[in-house]
């Protein structure tokens, strides 16, 4: 990826062979390549929704596929305080599309007041929320379930607008593929940046990152102290400070964080291997399945 004089990445010129998908789709994907921060990814997702007439965007992600309550983050393109107040009621929260659909299925769905009859019956409280949303311009929405597999995570990205049933179906017919692709790739890109921004959000210093890396390599306190030129007591104080900042409580969790932040190589997919690499070859029609060693 090229950079401008300030060091920021800029969108590259695209080959003709890349321009056979809808223009809005390949344009957004090319711009996603140049993002450096999760907020840039979010801005592109919101711009995509606005471009097709769906300006209200919700993005929610939970850290456990089976434990939807452990929410990593919630972002909206609009003031959603009224909705947060409603969802403090656990009996209402459990009827959310995230809870009822996205945690269990992969298919995009149409929702909102305009499509309430296409869903299983909901209680009056949930209907009242959808009516309030419609009054605020969120009459119909297109919700896309998302997944991250290590560790298992579930997410839901919804594009909404003030549209009747017929108009909303026309938007999805024309742009559903684009919205789905942007949601899938945008989600991956967002989480990639979101993970690396952990140090920024939690004010973890370069020295603390260095300590994380050494812990991740399995070094004990004495060895770490020798490497850093400090006392064992200082190492333990820094480790306690790290645990306080991150909310983690063990050496193993700190080592896992080091790998998540990219301070350690992925043991399965190492990009720095200089020796032979084994490649699994499978050919369905021949029944061949073998491992080939590559240089």
Give the end-to-end CA distance of the chain in Å, rounded to a whole number: 26
pLDDT at residue 255 greater than cutoff 60:
yes
User: Rounded to whole angstroms, how far apart are CA atoms 23 and 96?
Assistant: 33
User: Rounded to whole angstroms, how far apart are CA atoms 237 and 219?
Assistant: 16
Helix (H, G, I), strand (E, B) or coil at 283: strand
Going along the chain from its start, the domains and CATH numbers come out as: 16-196 (3.30.450.80), 203-266 (1.10.10.10)
- Give me the phi and psi of 269, to 5 degrees please: -115, 75
User: Rounded to whole angstroms, how far apart are CA atoms 145 and 132?
Assistant: 23
> Which of the residue ranges 21-25, 45-49, 158-162, 207-211 would you say has the lowest mean pLDDT?
207-211
Helix (H, G, I), strand (E, B) or coil at 62: strand
Q: Report which secondary-structure segment, H or E, holds 57.
A: strand 56-64
DSSP state of 286: T
Q: What is the pLDDT of residues 205-215, one digit of tens each?
A: 888 889 989 99
Q: Report which secondary-structure segment, H or E, holds 258.
A: helix 251-260
pLDDT at residue 286 greater than cutoff 70:
yes
Burial 88-127 (b: 16+ CB within 10 A, else e): eeeebeebbbbbbbbbeeeebbbbbbbbeeebeeeeeebe
Spatial neighbors of 261 by CB under 8 A, at least 6 apart, are 195, 196, 198, 199, 209, 212
> Which of the residue ranges 92-101, 163-172, 262-271 would you say has the lowest mean pLDDT?
262-271
Angle at 170 between CA 189 and CA 139, to 5 degrees: 75
User: Rounded to whole angstroms, how far apart are CA atoms 197 and 206?
Assistant: 13
Helix (H, G, I), strand (E, B) or coil at 70: strand
pLDDT bracket for residue 30 (50, 70, 90): very high
């Amino acid at each position: 990826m090229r950079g401008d004089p300030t060091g920021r990445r800029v969108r590259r010129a695209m080959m003709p062979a890349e321009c056979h998908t809808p223009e809005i789709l390949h344009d957004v994907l090319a711009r996603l390549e140049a993002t450096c921060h999760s907020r840039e990814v979010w801005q592109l997702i919101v711009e995509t929704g606005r471009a097709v007439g769906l300006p209200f965007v919700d993005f929610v992600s939970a850290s456990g596929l089976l434990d939807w309550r452990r929410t990593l983050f919630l972002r909206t393109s609009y003031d959603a305080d009224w909705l947060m107040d409603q969802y403090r009621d656990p009996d209402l929260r459990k009827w959310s599309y995230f809870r009822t659909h996205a945690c269990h299925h992969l298919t995009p769905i149409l929702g909102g007041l305009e499509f309430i009859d296409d869903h299983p019956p909901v209680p009056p409280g949930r209907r009242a929320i959808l009516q309030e949303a419609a009054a605020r311009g969120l009459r119909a929405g297109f919700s896309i379930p998302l997944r991250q597999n290590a560790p298992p995570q579930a997410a839901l990205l919804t594009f909404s607008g003030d549209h009747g049933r017929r108009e909303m179906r026309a938007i999805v017919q024309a742009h559903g593929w684009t919205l789905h692709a942007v949601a899938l790739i945008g989600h991956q890109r967002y989480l990639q940046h979101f993970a690396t921004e952990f140090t920024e959000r939690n004010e973890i210093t370069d020295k603390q990152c260095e300590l994380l890396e050494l812990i991740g390599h399995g070094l004990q306190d004495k060895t770490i102290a020798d490497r850093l030129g400090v006392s064992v007591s200082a190492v333990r104080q820094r480790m306690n400070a790290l645990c306080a900042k991150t909310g983690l409580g063990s050496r193993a969790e700190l080592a896992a964080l080091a790998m998540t932040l990219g301070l350690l190589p992925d043991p399965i997919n190492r990009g720095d291997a200089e020796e032979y690499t084994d490649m699994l070859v499978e050919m369905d029609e021949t029944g061949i399945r073998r491992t080939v060693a590559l240089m």
